[in-house]
Each structure stands twice: as C-alpha cells, then as structure tokens.
C-alpha cells in the first residue's frame, strides 16, 4: 500500500477535482510539523513536455491532496514552480502575488529654518558675543557656517525667531557643530515667556550633531525662538546645517485592492514600510505596487539566447524539468497581517486571527487564559504570530500545538503528556505494537524502546524519561522506499 495524489482547483475557485497526478509527481516528499500541521511538499513533474508546460502556466494555487486507503494524509497548495529549459530557468510563485496593498510611512514636516546654515547671512546676536560671522573655515553644507566666539556665559546667537508650532505635535531640532572650546546650549524657547521647550548641552571638543525635541505631550501652541549660547564660561563654536521640523508621525496610505485577483486567489496582503514621504507619494506607491503584483508573473531568466529559427514546442521542452513546491495551508495564514492588536487571552487572539481566512477554517481552539499581547508598532503576519502564541504555552508551563490539518482546519490545543508512538528496530509502532505506515506518522511523543536505561529518572513527569522524544517534524519521502521517514526531534529544531 502507498499514497495517491489528487489535484483540485484552488479553494477560492470551487476546489473541484481535476486529475490523479500520482504518476506525474515524481519523487514526492512532504513534511508535517508542530507548529504548522501539514507543512511543505516537493515533487518533479514527470509527465510529457506539453503537460509540464501546461502545469507550469496553469496550476499555480491548485489544491494537492495525498490519500492512503481513502484517508486524507496531507494537503496543501502549489505555491512555487521552477521550469528549467534550454533557454534558462523560469519561475512562477504565489508568494510574489499581492492584491491588497498599504504603505506605512513616516510623515515628517519640512525644515522651517530659512537660514539654518548661515548661507544667506549672519544670525542675530544674543547678548553680544565677541565674534559672530559667516565662515568658510569649517562647514558641512553649502559654503558657510556660523562662527561664534563668546567672551562670557550666555552669549551666542538666535538661529531663528518667531516660528509657529502646534500643540500636541512633536518637533525635532538638530544642528551640526564643531566645538573649539566651552560648553554650549542649544534650546527651543517660548517667545512669550522664554520657557525652554527643548534643549541639549554639549562640551565635547570636536565635531558633533546637537539634537533636542519637543515631544507630542506639549500643550503649547504659539511661536518659538531657537538659540545657541555658552553655558557657564567663554567658548568658541562653528554651527551649520540647522534643521527644525515637525517630528516623524506614523501614517498610512489608502488601502488598494484588486477584487478580480482576490476572487481567484483570496486576499493576499502587502504592507510596505517606508521612511519619510508625502501622503501623495505613499498612495501612489501603494497603487503602483498593487498593479504590478495583483496577478502571478512568470519570472524570466536574466538573459535569453534567441534562436535563429522558430523551434517546435517538443524541441524546446524535451530536456526541460519542472520542480513543484507545495505548501501546507498554514502558510496561507501569512497572506494576511494582524489587524487585531493589544492584550487578550491567548485563545481569544487565536480565534480572532484565524477569522477571516480564505483558505483556512477554525477547528478546535482550546481555552487558554494566558494574557498575550500583539504589538501594533509594525505589521506582523498572522501565521508567524500564531506560532509565537503557541510557543508561549500557558501559565502552567504546558506545551501547546497549533497547525492546519485535515479539512484545512486550524487546531490550537495543549499537547497531552501521553505517548503516541514507540520506535524499535528503526520502525515506528503504535501503542498496540503494530507498525505505522510512514505516511501516517505525525508529530508527537515517541519512545525509543531500545535505549538503555541504567536507573530510573528522578522526575515525576513521564516526558522527562530520556527515552521519550517529541518529534516536531516528520518527513515522508516516497522516492526512498528503504528509508521513507525522517524525524526531527525538538532539540534539533532552531529557535
């Protein structure tokens, strides 16, 4: 007895049976993992050249089901294909398709200083410094900097006066300096009473950037002045490249969607993280990115040699190979980002994150009252966050499992501290001692019956028995009948 493989139309397009592709899927191998459930599979198409070409261009996203004796033993969807021909390597991938797009960016104000580097003239003196002049001796931008020599404390210059600011809005001030001597104060003060809203001091001789900020909790709205001055003695400084601007605020573009693509592939989200840009530029990039990625594209080789005559299809494809990658449906949970954030019970978060999903339905979601927080500073893919929730366990330290299994059902539940299999003579056995077919083995507790135990282990927890190992991943390889099963134990996993 062995397995058979069926091909069905994509889930969003009805999931109708297409063909039995067992003979076409040469070297079929697939894995099951915890976390994840049905994880990944690979095969090389062994059909005719025309069938390979048809599969390459028309079967992306199709449902792949593995059966044994009428029982579903694995399920996933075609996510990537690589066609190698005489003219190079061609690739199609579902992971480069996005039909829901948004840009998260930093909205930053323009520099409001009209002469922050002294290019258009000398700054206004503050308390009569000894020297206040434009200088070419040192500068970081343009032609000039401002050179100040102060003969006593509280001598310097006004960088600019009368700048209007808003309440509850962040502002940043920075100034490039070369300190020759003294301690210097850069400050942003209210114009009505001189109260400092932001300031920084520096006495290190040499080049530096002085920075200070008004945070978004300031309730002051009105005008401000900005100055540079000595603190408690004489000093000499060069100053250049002054910038005062509204500080960065997280902002988001319009959401751009392609409903035609979503009807065929489900919703696949892309959230682009960008630095400072205008809202118009953010909206434009979201639209451009969506248009470029809403449908699968065939990735061409870097270069193609063009033939002198038109070749027949059989000539171009006779030596071609088609490598197929199939992902379990847990991978599709990363098609969306977490739109639920904050702190809640772990199981409540799992329920919220799993719904809605185009490819996955909720199965058994066991109650777990562990308080779990999902941050909102950066977008987190749903599948990755679900794995982190499972890895957090519960308040009693129990191990939890999460994955997508038969029927594309997401299950989240504690791992029982109970034996699932034993291993003897290199063979996996069930608890009754019967041999388990390699394609029916799943992650779970395995006891190594032939391991020598010289003395009882001290723990009351049976899983601390050194013969017990938790298999986090099992891989079935149909092309290796002598050793068809590979097991990865928890200690071998990364992270």
Give the C-alpha distances (Å, rounded to integers) separating 153 from 24, 150, 237, 260, 466: 85, 7, 13, 70, 74
Calpha distance 325→59 (Å, rounded): 12
Architecture of domain 124-247: Sandwich (2.60)
Per the listing, tokens 């998260």 go with 104
Longest dimension (CA), the chain: 97
* 175 close to 184: Cβ distance less than 8 angstroms: no
**The dihedral sign for the CA sequence 367, 368, 374, 380:** negative
Domain ranges of the chain: 4-95+296-331, 102-108+250-293, 124-247, 336-414, 421-492
Tokens linked to 99? 């039909």
Look at strands 256-257 and 100-107 and give their pairing.
Answer: antiparallel
Q: Of the candidates 320, 323, 324, which has an alpha carbon nearest to the alpha carbon of residue 85? A: 320
Question: What pLDDT, on the 0 to 100 scale, is given for residue 378?
Answer: 85
Calpha distance 216→218 (Å, rounded): 6
∠431-436-442 over CA atoms, to 5°? Answer: 85
Per the listing, tokens 């504690």 go with 414
Calpha distance 61→9 (Å, rounded): 8
Tokens linked to 379? 């977008």
Helix (H) or strand (E) holding 383: helix 382-391
Residues 32/33/34/36 CA torsion (nearest 10 deg): -90
Q: What are phi and psi of 53, to 5 degrees?
A: -65, -40
Calpha distance 439→476 (Å, rounded): 6
Q: Is 12 helix (H, G, I), strand (E, B) or coil?
A: helix
Calpha distance 142→241 (Å, rounded): 9
**Cis peptide bond upstream of 35, omega within 30:** yes
Calpha distance 40→177 (Å, rounded): 57
> 283: Cβ–Cβ under 8 A, 6 or more apart, which residues?
103, 253, 254
∠303-309-314 over CA atoms, to 5°? Answer: 85
- Concatenate the DSSP letters of all residues of 100-117 into one string: EEEEEEEE-PPP--SSTT
Q: What are phi and psi of 309, to 5 degrees?
A: -135, 160
Question: What pLDDT, on the 0 to 100 scale, is given for residue 302?
Answer: 67
Q: Is 408 exposed, middle or buried (0-12, 13-18, 19+ CB in 10 A)?
A: buried
Residues of the chain with pLDDT under 70: 1, 302-318, 454-455, 491-495
Tokens linked to 184? 């210097």
Helix (H) or strand (E) holding 288: helix 279-293
Question: What pLDDT, on the 0 to 100 scale, is given for residue 318?
Answer: 60
Question: What pLDDT, on the 0 to 100 scale, is given for residue 317?
Answer: 54
Measured in whole angstroms, the distance separating CA 178 from the mean position of its chain's CA atoms is 41
Tokens linked to 150? 């102060």
Q: How many residues does the chain have?
A: 495
* 76 close to 61: Cβ distance less than 8 angstroms: no
Per-residue pLDDT tens over the stretch 101-139:
999 999 999 999 999 999 999 999 999 999 999 999 999
Residue 354 region by backbone torsions, left for phi larger than 0, else alpha for psi between -120 and 50, else beta: alpha
Q: Of the candidates 399, 426, 425, 396, which has an alpha carbon nearest to the alpha carbon of residue 412? A: 399
**pTM summary value:** 0.86
Q: Of the candidates 259, 172, 272, which has an alpha carbon nearest to the alpha carbon of residue 224? A: 172
Helix (H) or strand (E) holding 374: strand 371-374
Give the C-alpha distances (Å, rounded to integers) separating 439 from 41, 68, 236, 381: 13, 8, 79, 30
* 160 close to 223: Cβ distance less than 8 angstroms: no
Q: Is 284 exposed, middle or buried (0-12, 13-18, 19+ CB in 10 A)?
A: middle
* 10 close to 67: Cβ distance less than 8 angstroms: no
């Amino acid at each position: 007895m062995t397995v058979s493989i069926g091909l069905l139309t994509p889930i969003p397009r009805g999931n109708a049976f297409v063909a039995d592709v067992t003979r076409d899927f040469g070297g079929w191998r697939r894995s099951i993992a915890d976390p994840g459930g049905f994880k990944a599979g690979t095969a090389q198409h062994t059909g005719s050249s025309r069938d390979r070409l048809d599969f390459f261009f028309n079967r992306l996203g199709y449902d792949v089901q593995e059966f044994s004796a009428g029982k579903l033993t694995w399920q996933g969807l075609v996510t990537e294909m690589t066609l190698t021909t005489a003219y190079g390597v061609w690739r199609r991938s579902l992971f480069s398709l996005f039909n829901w797009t948004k840009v998260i960016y930093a909205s930053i104000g323009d520099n409001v200083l009209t002469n922050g580097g002294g290019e258009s003239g000398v700054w206004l003196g503050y308390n009569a410094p000894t020297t206040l002049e434009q200088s070419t001796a040192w500068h970081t931008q343009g032609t000039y900097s401002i050179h100040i020599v102060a003969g006593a404390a509280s001598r310097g210059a006004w960088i600019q006066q009368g700048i209007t600011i808003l309440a509850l809005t962040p502002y940043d001030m920075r100034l490039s300096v070369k300190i020759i001597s003294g301690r210097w104060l850069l400050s942003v003060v209210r114009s009505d009473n001189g109260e400092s809203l932001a300031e920084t001091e520096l006495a290190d001789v040499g080049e530096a950037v002085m920075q200070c900020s008004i945070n978004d909790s300031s309730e002051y709205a009105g005008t401000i002045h900005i100055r540079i001055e000595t603190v408690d003695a004489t000093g000499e400084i060069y100053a250049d490249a002054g910038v005062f601007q509204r500080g960065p605020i997280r902002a988001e573009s319009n959401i751009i969607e392609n409903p035609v693509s979503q009807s065929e592939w489900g919703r696949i989200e892309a959230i682009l993280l960008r630095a400072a840009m205008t809202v118009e530029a953010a909206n434009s990039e979201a639209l451009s990115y969506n248009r470029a990625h809403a449908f699968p594209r065939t990735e061409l080789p870097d270069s193609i040699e063009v033939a002198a005559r038109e070749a027949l299809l059989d000539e171009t494809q006779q030596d071609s190979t088609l490598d197929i990658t199939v992902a379990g449906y847990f991978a599709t949970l990363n098609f969306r980002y977490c739109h639920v954030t904050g702190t809640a019970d772990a199981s409540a978060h799992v329920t919220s994150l799993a719904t809605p999903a185009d490819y996955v339905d909720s199965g058994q979601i066991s109650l777990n009252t562990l308080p779990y927080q999902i941050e909102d500073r950066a977008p987190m893919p749903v599948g990755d966050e679900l794995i982190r929730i499972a890895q957090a366990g519960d308040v009693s330290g129990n191990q939890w499992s999460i994955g997508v299994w038969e029927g594309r059902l997401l299950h989240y539940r504690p791992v029982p501290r109970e034996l699932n299999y034993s291993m003897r003579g290199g063979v996996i056995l069930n608890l009754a001692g019967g041999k388990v077919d390699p394609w029916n083995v799943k992650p779970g507790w395995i006891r190594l019956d032939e391991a020598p135990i010289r003395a009882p282990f001290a723990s009351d927890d049976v899983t601390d028995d050194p013969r017990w190992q938790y298999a986090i991943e099992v891989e079935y390889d149909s092309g290796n009948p002598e050793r068809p099963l590979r097991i990865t134990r928890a200690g071998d996993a990364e992270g």
